[in-house]
Structure 1
């Protein structure tokens, strides 16, 4: 097949055969010339999405997370979830579950979306910081506020005492 193609192209067989100098080349491994790490690696370029009637631009724009202006304003001016959970537990006289806390906070703050899993994570973080106590009753977990809540702001904290150096 190759010879038929060579004949069709009009090349001669002698031109394609290697010269004796090429066949007698010493077999020495090629030396690396660049010493920078990763210099020999190729960088793979990212493919641009194919544009069909502007659909690709709309799809990539819709994938970006965007916050509603109302939610952004509520988050900027309102208290954090940690503060809401701590206040709620401080107001309660008996232990509450994460579901009860999430339900109460959702009703008290309808402009915010408060999920039970996020409240549970927040409670566990507060337990780790000793701001909240956890008690188990069977398979249920209940949370109560500790007696002395730690200050959340530097302005609320008492003057700090520097340790003496000897």
Structure 2
């Protein structure tokens, strides 16, 4: 019975220690680190910003390509706002990769733009990510008629209300 209790307590201790180290890998001092690479594997640390499902600093295996990194960040995010039915045919995806060269003077940028329904550019699969790269993703779409109405309607409403208020004050 003592051996069983000792074995259970040892197993519980190992479980608690492993789970706390896992949390430390994911949340270190308020910074959001997402570990994709296995521990001991050569890895790069890459920042992902913008319209993705999960932005943050990713620790990924070396030789990770852009489409893999986008998958690690849960893909493109739904457009922000109150749009329920988005016409994806008019949507463009923009992916920008920024990095400093060895002299820390010049920012090199790779830029990919394509429509959502088109295949990803071949260059995205061939682009080599490096340590401390910044990958920014933006989902854009052409404005629709309702977008223009959403902007113009409040302005027209304020003008009409002001005219009615001035007319009532004159009488």
TM-score by length of 1: 0.26
Pair member with larger Rg: 1
More strand by share: 2
